[in-house]
Amino acid sequence: MSAAPLRLQNLCKNYGALVVTDDVSLDIEAGELHAIIGPNGAGKTTLIHQISGLAQPNSGRIIFDGQDVTGLSMAARARLGLVRSFQITSILPRFSALENVALAVQARSGSSFWFLGNAATETALNEVAMGLLARFGLAARASVPAGQMSHGEKRQLEIAIALAAKPKLLLLDEPLAGTSHDESQRLINTLRELRRELPIVLIEHDMDAVFALADRVSVLVYGRIIASGTPRSIRDNADVRAAYLGEEAL
């Protein structure tokens, strides 16, 4: 069996006396969608910050694709293929959806940004960018300024931008937040397809989506993982129900 693409080894993060990540060890296996759930304040986003390079752990190691990336910057990790949506680049509100994705494709190809406005006029960039927009049901919105898109459309656009970086592993922090029912269903269907292509770490509060999508689920409470397993085993775990899911999850 090949080594797990992402390994977290005894990660600890504190801010003064506040312990946010408490000795977290976790392997993300090839080809799986691994959801991390837990109550507000459990440390989920801080954990994603550490994996992506936005925050440095006080101790522990992060191994990605066989390489210790603990000391690398977020940009360096992204170049290796460890990509986080919503943090790779900010949406440019005055630029169209197509231009936003085309710029991300241009950045991944190593092209220089000698004039931002030229990116979406290049045929090769357009073709790749339009393919990504179509994947998220945004092809008809290609010419719309990103700032005028709905919240759900912006979520989809941000993931399209992340995919333009050609990730080997994708980190998603609550991609369904603020989306309508139809937009959520579209994103769930897209994530179901994406999980066949690359491993995904998903933080999400929508438990229906988590249990529909995840191969494995880890539960973070007060910075510690209290359980990790299949969606069924997590749903049936009495400690998890008491700490987070509640009896309504039965």
Give tens-digit pLDDT for 134-182: 988 899 999 999 999 988 888 889 889 999 888 999 999 888 887 888 8
Higher pLDDT, 81 or 177: 81
DSSP string spanning 117-186? Answer: GGGGGSHHHHHHHHHHHHHTT-GGGTTSBGGGS-HHHHHHHHHHHHHHT--SEEEEE-TTTT--HHHHHH
Among 40-49, 106-115, 143-152, 206-215, which is the least confidently predicted range?
Answer: 106-115
Residue 250 has pLDDT above 50, yes or no: no
Which pLDDT score, from 0 to 100, does residue 90 have? 65
Q: Are 190 and 136 in contact (CB under 8 A)?
A: yes
Residue 245 has pLDDT above 90, yes or no: no
Instruction: Determine the Cα–Cα distance for residues 35 and 217; give it in Å rounded to an integer.
Output: 5
- Determine what percent of the chain is predicted with pLDDT higher than 70: 89
pLDDT one-digit tens code per residue, 206-220: 898 999 999 999 999
Which pLDDT score, from 0 to 100, does residue 86 have? 58
Mean pLDDT value of segment 26-30: 95
For each of the domains in the chain, give its residue range(s) and CATH number, in order of start.
Answer: 1-88+167-250 (3.40.50.300), 90-164 (no CATH)
Instruction: Determine the Cα–Cα distance for residues 39 and 145; give it in Å rounded to an integer.
Output: 35
CA-nearest of 202, 214, 115, 126 to 164 is 126
Mean pLDDT value of segment 221-228: 93
Mean pLDDT value of segment 105-117: 62
pLDDT one-digit tens code per residue, 3-26: 789 999 999 999 999 999 999 999
Mean pLDDT value of segment 29-57: 93
Beta strands 59-64 and 67-68 are antiparallel
Structure tokens at 174: 């609550």
Question: pTM here?
Answer: 0.87
Which pLDDT score, from 0 to 100, does residue 111 have? 55
The set of residues, in sequence order, having a beta carbon less than 8 Å from that of 235 and lying 6+ positions away, is 211, 245, 249, 250
Which pLDDT score, from 0 to 100, does residue 121 have? 59
Largest CA distance in the chain: 57
Mean pLDDT value of segment 47-70: 96
